[in-house]
Structure 1
């Protein structure tokens, strides 16, 4: 029987202090995951894992070290503390590290209000297998689908507890339930494939197996007969399934770590227009039933809604305590960490302002161009913002989809691309990143 997570973190802090640490923080994580894959109507793969991981960070002066383990015996905890202190003494000084002051710590730590955990029982493996079978059967029931590459059902739950020598202690529990399907149409060199899936915190919110299989089949059948598009400069519409990657590049560029290193293409962009004036990017860490939600960050600071971009203007960086100190600013409570590494800045839930047009309306407005539904590979220069990715999707003429395309490359510069985006109104609001389909006015397409 595993010890209570709060007991584990308390034991880690006690051992760290006994071995000479001046300050310390500890994290303990326990989790269960189950995944079932079905193929050809038969069970192909079943996996279940359970475990506990612990991590300890010790600070001695301006030196720090992290040690982790998946063994929670008392002797292991003692060994972890001894090694962490020994490593810290040999580490170089870092003038920016340090725990938060007690006055900075979050007081509201009741994460149950965020509804991140489904209290219903873990689904039996047979139920997961049935979901996967039904998903596959729905896809195979569509004329033109030759096979299903995979139909998967999964369940997971995690408990996380953190404690610090400055007096902070808090934890939370998360669950997730997922269904996905990859369908194939055609054979040989004419083979095409696509996918669809859904992941939710609460089982009751999950889409049905039949709908997931049907949508995977429809996405695949739409790709039959794909060929290379024209080469030239055209508008590109990023479908909602992949449009969040564009905002992801923006979030990476405003990460305090990249700014402190001077390695971001937005390093001089604070207070400048980075999006059209009618668009904002808002962080919403308290959104219920959303995977990125949290009341406090990994350093115990209280989280709050904030504008990353407001009316097109870049308002600030995403920072933890160390990067904030390095930049001479205040932490935005965005520290994130695992058991084997110190905190680093990372955003929580993010939403981009939605437009007032549907994706189809944007297609009509773009006239002739490319609708991108999937991308492969990546060549993004984080310092200059130069962008190049392999893409597939559909060619659009006179506002209408004319044929599916593949084997093309789209290229541009993120600074120019983001300033010209036009959003649709089709974002899925339960996702951690709520980003609708995005039209970029002009990009270079390399095709036939």
Structure 2
């Protein structure tokens, strides 16, 4: 069975563009004063191998159209997976019916025409992977085999998965904007379980990229998953106290996620952010510099325009610890009396500038304290910044890992944590949209025994 030849998209860019124009025409005829449309399709496959045997083979092909209409300041939305003319016309009619029963909202409406993108640079985001199922199975087996081969104590597996996906979309609105997007995303992942006596531990690793050529080798992904799992055996709790805390790159990306949430429009206009009214204020330690770069080649969050067609811009989001701006779409910008920053649909690639060396250098800077490699629970208050989460990782003494740690809680306040960052490593993992190395925080409360 070989499905690689079926992984091509069904529609041309011109065909999807014609569908967008057709829906815009239906909306205008139906009485909409404004309208925007997003038409998309995607094709993907996932193969999972567990304990050397094929567990699942999934193949998906989907398409959809979403239309938002405005009658004055009243808004209606509807969607369909049927692209026939009759279905599209009925979907527009449904959106118009909703708008006629919706209360007017002064902030509703399309993005301002003068902010729409006018150029569409090639950001190198589309790299289909002609991967027959047989080869995907072999890659998954190679990945899992490397993990299981690390040590005889790796006794079980949750499997290894090889995934591939391509998609395209066209966004258009009644202000004359038509914008295309073509993307791909591929990944290899593995999770295994180690056992020593009655003690059991689980960990994982993965690689993800726009192009298959940028993925880490399957065997190295499995090897890392196995090594990480084995290293967690013999974990113990710590004595409660205040310690320096080093977040490894994957957990440091989570810290950036809390920052992004706090400076995003929806939290700000609802006054539910601990960084309300912070533009121009120091929100991080002076050593922190963060760039938002929508134009990063092959970036996981790269785009020339946002979900409303607004042109994206490269900017210093944080410079020398000072917040340079918020992340706003048109609606939240109007609620705040500001202008859209091209962030409808979310933040683009975040590049956090390193201030120190590699991971070994960061361990030396930590000295004696806690290295966090996993966080559990959702104990983050976006309004106050209070932070309390279960954690696992390693105890470090004099820059050397001594033993694994589990069943502890780390606590603080994000405002203070951001201000007390003392180093950012160059050990950046480029797997997602946040490019950041490990982050050392001067001191946090660690609750153990």
TM (norm. structure 2) is 0.94
- Summarize the alignment of residues 45-444 of structure 1 with structure 2, pairs less than 5 Å apart: 45-110=56-121, 113-119=122-128, 121-143=129-151, 144-186=153-195, 189-336=198-345, 346-421=346-421, 422-429=423-430, 431-444=432-445
Following the alignment from structure 1 to structure 2, what is the Cα–Cα distance between the partners of residues 403 and 267? 40
CA distance in 1, matches of 2:444, 2:378: 16
Cα distance in 1 for partners of 2:197, 2:161 equals 24
Moved more, 276-285 or 50-59: 276-285
Query: 1:282–1:352: 8 Å Cα contact kept in structure 2?
Result: yes
Secondary structure at 2:339 match in 1 = coil
Bigger mean CA deviation after superposition, 130-139 or 100-109:
100-109
1:289/1:430 contact within 8 Å kept: no
Instruction: Give the stretch that moved more between structures: 218-227 or 427-436.
Output: 427-436
Tell me: CA distance 1:11–1:188, structure 2 relative to 1, closer, same or farther (3 Å): farther
Q: Quick check: 1:236–1:372 contact (8 Å CA) kept in 2?
A: yes
Runs of at least 5 residues in structure 1 that lack an aligned partner in the other structure: 337-345
Unaligned regions of 5+ residues in structure 2, if any? 1-9
Relative to structure 1, the CA distance from residue 188 to residue 34 in structure 2 (aligned partners, 3 Å threshold; closer, same or farther) is farther
Offset, 1:140: 1.4
SS in structure 2 at match of 1:30: strand
- 1:356 alignment partner, SS class: coil
Residue in 1 that maps onto 2:37: 26
> Residues 290-323 of structure 1, C-alpha deviation per residue, up to 9 Å, x if partnerless?
1100011122121110111111101111111121
Counterpart secondary structure, 1:335: coil
Aligned-partner Cα distance in 2 for 1:430–1:285:
16
Count of residues paired in the alignment? 436
RMSD over aligned Cα atoms:
1.5
Which whole-Å CA distance do the structure 1 matches of 2:223 and 2:431 have between them?
21
Q: CA distance change for structure 1 residues 304 and 281 in 2, over 3 Å: closer, same or farther?
A: same
Deviation at residue 364 of structure 1 after TM alignment: 2.2
1:122 and 1:155 in contact (8 A); partners too: no
Q: 1:60 to 1:73 in 2, by over 3 A?
A: same
* Whole-angstrom CA distance in 1 between matches of 2:202 and 2:33: 56
Per the alignment, in what secondary structure is the counterpart of residue 191 of structure 1? strand
Q: Aligned partners of 2:30, 2:196: CA distance in 1, in Å?
A: 64
* Counterparts of 1:42 and 1:101, CA distance in 2: 54
Distance (Å, rounded) in 2 between the aligned partners of 1:244 and 1:274: 17
Deviations 1:148-204 (A, max 9, x none): 221110000111111111000011111111101102111674011111110111111
Structure 2 residue aligned with 1:445: 446
Secondary structure of the equivalent of 1:295?
coil
Q: Given the superposition, is the C-alpha separation of residues 430 and 153 from structure 1 closer, same or farther in structure 2, using an over 3 Å criterion? A: closer
Query: Which whole-Å CA distance do the structure 1 matches of 2:45 and 2:448 have between them?
Result: 42
Q: Is the 8 A contact 1:15 1:78 kept in 2?
A: yes
* Residue of structure 2 in register with 1:340 after alignment: none
Contact 1:155 1:178 in 2 (8 A): yes
Distance in 1 separating the partners of 2:318 and 2:173: 32
Q: Secondary structure at the match of 1:80?
A: helix
Deviations 1:129-156 (A, max 9, x none): 1110110111111123222221110000
For residue 7 of structure 2, what is the aligned residue in structure 1?
none
Partners of 1:41 and 1:278 in 2: CA distance: 48
Please give the alpha-carbon distance, in whole angstroms, between the structure 2 residues aligned to 1:244 and 1:102: 34
TM-score by length of 1: 0.94
Q: Distance in 1 between matches of 2:202 and 2:379?
A: 24
> What is the SS of the residue equivalent to 1:174?
strand
Q: Secondary structure at the match of 2:379?
A: strand
Output the CA distance in 1 between the equivalents of 2:118 and 2:25. 23
In structure 2, the residue matched to 1:38 is: 49
Task: Give the drift of 1:102.
Answer: 3.3
Any conservation in 2 of the 1:290–1:430 contact (CA below 8 Å)?
Answer: no
